[in-house]
Amino acid sequence: MIFDMSERFVKNIMLNKVIEVENLNVKYGKQEVLKNFSCTLPEGAMIGIIGANGSGKSTFLKAIMQIIPIESGKVFFWGKSLKEVRSQIAYLPQRNSVDWDFPASVLDVVLMGLYKEIGWFGSIQKRHKERALFYLEKVKMADFAKKHIAELSGGQQQRVFLARAFAQEAKLYLLDEPLSGIDATTEEIIMENLQSLNSHGKTIVMIHHQIETIENYFDYLLMIRSGKIIAVGETKYVFTPKNLQATYNEAKVIS
């Protein structure tokens, strides 16, 4: 299935800033991973983050979500601090960073996305379960609700974690490689759901590796190499052979 974002983007020129990053610096030990990293990302866009392995893509998402410490710099969401708007943001980590042996059913995993509403020791109500099942149905996993998460295939596990993120009903979704290592059917299901969210005004920021689908999936791009920004802007302007070569240090073909 082709997801043509260009026409929708032209009809919805975005003036509001969803993320502003000013001179962000992040280190792992003595190694600088992000260096004077500054960018502004628009609200309501499908935003792709691309770059070679180790370029700082995942670090960027973790840093702005305060999952890892930053050396210096400022991050704003809608002009506010993360603390003020955290409930409006859903974050999906890389699948390989999750302990899939955690003793939880598929339904339990999705309900975890509602912990801010339910509370860590609050009672799970019928409406919470109905909401979780609604989003499992969205990703075609409702029939697996009682199964242990470890029993599922990689693609099925990814769908469940997307359902958990969707159940938060956030305004901004930060997704770390949601299409990595999955089958074509799962990719189509995920992208259909993300496109639907985006059509309702939600902002999607997503790390992506498949060069051939970038123009179909994203109307805005952040291109990173070695912790520095190569280009940021509308896909139709920045997705060029020159920027791809600078991003990956090798020629990439745009088909």
Domain with 170 in it: what CATH number? 3.40.50.300
Instruction: Specify the pLDDT at position 124.
Output: 75
Report the domain count for the chain.
Answer: 1
Kindly report the backbone phi and psi dihedral angles of residue 32, in degrees, each rounded to the nearest multiple of 5, phi listed first: -80, 125
Instruction: Specify the pLDDT at position 94.
Output: 86
Supply 31's token pair. Answer: 């190694």
Query: Which range marks the domain in which residue 22 is found?
Result: 6-243
251 domain residue, yes or no = no
136 domain residue, yes or no = yes
Q: What is the dihedral of CA 64, 47, 87, 111, to 10 degrees?
A: -110
CA distances for 37 relative to 8, 142, 172, 220, angstroms: 29, 41, 20, 18
Kindly report the backbone phi and psi dihedral angles of residue 244, in degrees, each rounded to the nearest multiple of 5, phi listed first: -65, -40
255 domain residue, yes or no = no
250 domain residue, yes or no = no
78 domain residue, yes or no = yes
CA distances for 118 relative to 125, 136, 172, 210, angstroms: 9, 18, 20, 37
- Listed residue (239, 240, 235) closest to 42, CA to CA: 235
Residues 6+ apart with CB under 8 A from 219: 5, 6, 8, 9, 45, 46, 47, 234, 235
Instruction: Specify the pLDDT at position 222.
Output: 98
64 domain residue, yes or no = yes
Count, residues in the chain = 255
Please answer whether residues 79 and 18 qualify as being in contact, where contact means their C-beta atoms are separated by less than 8 angstroms.
no
pTM above the 0.85 mark?
yes
Q: How far is CA 103 from the centre of its chain?
A: 25
Instruction: Specify the pLDDT at position 39.
Output: 96
- Listed residue (207, 148, 153) closest to 176, CA to CA: 207
68 domain residue, yes or no = yes
**Residue 37 and residue 34: Cα distance in Å, rounded?**
6
Give the bridge partners for 17, in sequence order. 42
249 domain residue, yes or no = no
Per-residue pLDDT of the chain (255 residues; tens, 9 = 90+): 444 444 444 444 456 899 999 999 999 888 899 999 999 999 999 999 999 999 999 999 999 999 999 999 999 999 999 999 999 999 998 877 666 677 789 998 998 878 777 666 667 778 888 999 999 999 999 999 999 998 998 889 999 999 999 999 999 999 999 998 888 999 999 999 999 999 999 999 999 999 999 999 999 999 999 999 999 999 999 999 999 999 998 656 554
Instruction: Specify the pLDDT at position 11.
Output: 41
